[in-house]
Amino acid sequence: MIKKFFITGTDTNIGKTTISGILLKKASNFGYKTAGYKPISSGIKKYKNKNSYTIKNTYQFINEDVVILKKNSSVKLSYNEINPISFFENAPPNILSLIKNKKIKKKDLSFGLKNIAQKSNWILIEGAGGWYTPISDKYTFSDWVKKEKLTVILVVAIKLGCINHAILTEKSILSDNLKCGGWIANNIFPKNKYNSYYIQTLLSYIKSPLLGIVPYFKNTNEINVNNINILLPE
């Protein structure tokens, strides 16, 4: 049986990719053939190609989130398999799609997922932004998730405003008749005297299980997965 999860967040830039990397490693440790999938990415950076020995000053254009998913997947996937649709600028997918005249079709997202499902049995699909991020003028990312009947994981950035955002997001997921496999509290700031109160309040309001609390990391490259207590969603 193939397990497929969609990871969304209460906002953008709240650590979905970092959490995805941790979950992929955890699942791999349990013996799953894991794969990360980011069907749509925005924001590409230029890096000098360190692997080029014959041509000087060659560069590659990559999205950092895709690189992290590729690095933490246990099965070998190409960059394009993990991320079939990409945009250079960092903006909402529906806006970039319109400006660049590059339509985003749900069937293309599904085709990429089907391809990965042939190679792995534990797939983590990372969305863009929050639950209702539009990917066209007619439908949002959540519409595709409903089509695929994916179990959703909610990442909550622990900060001012997270309580309202988290409650609304979970209500929306459940109202779409989808399963929320759990939520993860991500401490994106070093210290805040209200953090524990935020989490306690969320425990009172969110029906889905708390899978874990991720501490603040100044450098995410130094994360030791074995030291982070996160449960895998069912």
> Do the annotations mark residue 128 as ligand-binding?
yes
**CA dihedral (82, 86, 89, 92) positive or negative:** negative
**14 marked among binding-site residues:** yes
The response to whether 187 counts as a known ligand-binding position is yes
Q: Is 68 annotated as a binding residue?
A: no
Is residue 18 a known part of a binding site? Answer: yes
Quickly tell me which residue has 């890096």 as its tokens: 47
Residue 86 is labelled as binding a ligand: no
* Polymer length in residues for the chain: 234
Q: Is 129 annotated as contributing to ligand binding?
A: yes
38 as an active site residue: the answer is yes
**Which residue matches tokens 């069937």?**
107
Please answer whether residues 185 and 210 qualify as being in contact, where contact means their C-beta atoms are separated by less than 8 angstroms.
yes
The HSE-up count of residue 86 (CA atoms within 13 Å, CB side) is: 19
Alpha helices in the chain (DSSP H): 16-29, 64-72, 79-82, 93-99, 106-117, 141-148, 162-175, 195-205
What letter does residue 188 receive in the DSSP assignment?
A: -
Question: Which position among 4, 25, 26, 38 bears the catalytic label?
Answer: 38
112 is in an annotated binding site: no
> Within 13 Å, how many C-alpha atoms sit on residue 226's CB side?
1
Asked whether residue 65 is marked as a ligand-binding residue, the answer is yes
Amino acid at 218: K
User: Is 15 assigned to a binding site?
Assistant: yes
16 is in an annotated binding site: yes
Report the candidate in 211, 227, 200 with the shortest Cα–Cα distance to residue 7.
Answer: 211
Binding-site residue ranges for Mg(2+):
17, 65, 126
Q: Summarize the annotated binding site for ATP as residue ranges.
A: 13-18, 65, 126-129, 186-187, 221
Please state the residue numbers annotated as binding site for substrate.
Answer: 42
Binding residues: 13-18, 42, 65, 126-129, 186-187, 221
As annotated, the active-site residues are 38
